[in-house]
Amino acid sequence: MAAITRSRFSSVSLFCKLSLRQSLKNTRIAVCKYSSDSKETEPLTKVTEENGIRTICLNNPKKRNALSLKMLETLWQDLSKKSKDLRVIILTANGPVFSAGHDLKELTAKEGRHYHEKVFASCTYVMSLLQEMTIPVIAEVYGLATAAGCQLVASCDIAVASEKAQFATPGVNVGLFCSTPAVAVGRAVPRKVAMEMLFTGKPISAQDALLHGLVSKVVPEDQVSEETMKIAKKICETSKSVVALGKTSFHEQMKLERREAYKLTEAIMANNLQLIDGQEGIQSFIEKRTPVWTHTMKTIPAPVSKKHDLDD
Residues 117 and 173 grouped into a single domain? yes
Please tell me what DSSP assigns to residue 308: P
In a domain, residue 275? The reply is yes
At residue 306, the pLDDT reads 57
Q: DSSP secondary-structure letter at 78?
A: H
* Radius of gyration of the chain from its Cα atoms, rounded to whole angstroms: 22
Mark whether 260 and 206 lie in a shared domain: no
- Rounded average pLDDT over 7-32: 38
**Residue 138: which of 98, 169, 170, 100 has the closest Cα?**
98
The confidence score (pLDDT) of residue 12 equals 40
Same domain, 249 and 193: no
Give the strand pairing for 217-219 and 158-162: parallel
**Structural domain includes residue 301:** no
pTM of the model: 0.84
Asked if the structure places residue 155 within a domain, the reply is yes
- pLDDT bin (cut points 50, 70, 90) of residue 39 is very low
The residue out of 177, 206, 236 marking a domain boundary is 236
Considering only CA atoms, which of 120, 140, 122 is closest in space to residue 58? Answer: 140
**22 shares its domain with 98:** yes
Distance CA 184, CA 201 (A): 16
The fraction of the chain above a pLDDT of 90, given in percent, is 82
Q: Residues 29, 59: one domain?
A: yes
**CB contact at 8 A, 199 and 173:** no
Is 77 strand, coil or helix? helix
Residue 121 resides in a domain: yes
Cα distance between residue 18 and residue 135, in whole Å? 8
The pLDDT value recorded for residue 171 is 97
> What is the average pLDDT across 247-258?
96
Does any domain span residue 310?
no
**Residue 308: per-residue pLDDT:** 54
- Please indicate whether residue 37 or residue 274 has the higher confidence score (pLDDT): 274
Q: Is residue 300 part of a domain?
A: no
pLDDT reported for residue 268: 97
The reply to whether 42 and 65 lie within a common domain is: yes
pLDDT tier at 302, thresholds 50, 70, 90: confident
Q: With 80 as the cut, is the pLDDT of residue 2 above it? A: no
Give how far Cα 289 sits from Cα of 50, 54, 243, 283, 298, Å: 26, 29, 20, 9, 21
Same domain, 265 and 123: no
CATH code assigned at 257:
1.10.12
Range list of β-strands (E), 115-265: 137-141, 144-146, 158-162, 166-168, 204-205, 217-219
Confidence of residue 125 (pLDDT cuts 50, 70, 90): very high
**What is the domain extent for residue 56?**
16-236
Asked whether residue 105 is domain-assigned, the answer is yes
Split at pLDDT 50, 70, 90, the class of 21 is very low
Answer yes or no: is pLDDT of 11 > 90. no
User: Total structural domains in the chain?
Assistant: 2
pLDDT of 22 reads 37
Average pLDDT score over residue span 128-157: 97
Task: Give yes or no: residues 271 and 136 share one domain.
Answer: no
Domain boundary residue, one of 236, 252, 272: 236
Residue type, 285: F
- On whether both 62 and 174 belong to a single domain, the answer is yes
8 A C-beta contact, residue 75 and residue 45? yes
From the list 237, 233, 230, 304, the residue with the least C-alpha distance to 277 is 237
Using one digit for the tens of pLDDT, what is the confidence trace for 192-206? 999 999 999 999 999
Residues 218-240: pLDDT tens digits? 999 999 999 999 999 999 999 99
Least confident of 4-8, 40-44, 164-168, 295-299: 4-8
Q: Do both 247 and 192 map to the same domain?
A: no
The contacts of residue 136 (CB under 8 Å, 6+ apart) are 87, 88, 89, 157, 158, 235, 243, 247
180 with 248, same domain: the answer is no
CATH of the domain at 110: 3.90.226.10
Domain match, 195 and 129 both: yes
Cβ contact 189:155 at 8 Å: no
Task: Please report how many Cα atoms fall inside a 13 Å half-sphere around the Cα of residue 199, on the Cβ side.
Answer: 6
pLDDT of residue 92 exceeding 70:
yes
Backbone torsions φ then ψ of 48, nearest 5 degrees = -135, 155
Strand partners, 136: none
Inside any domain, residue 4: no
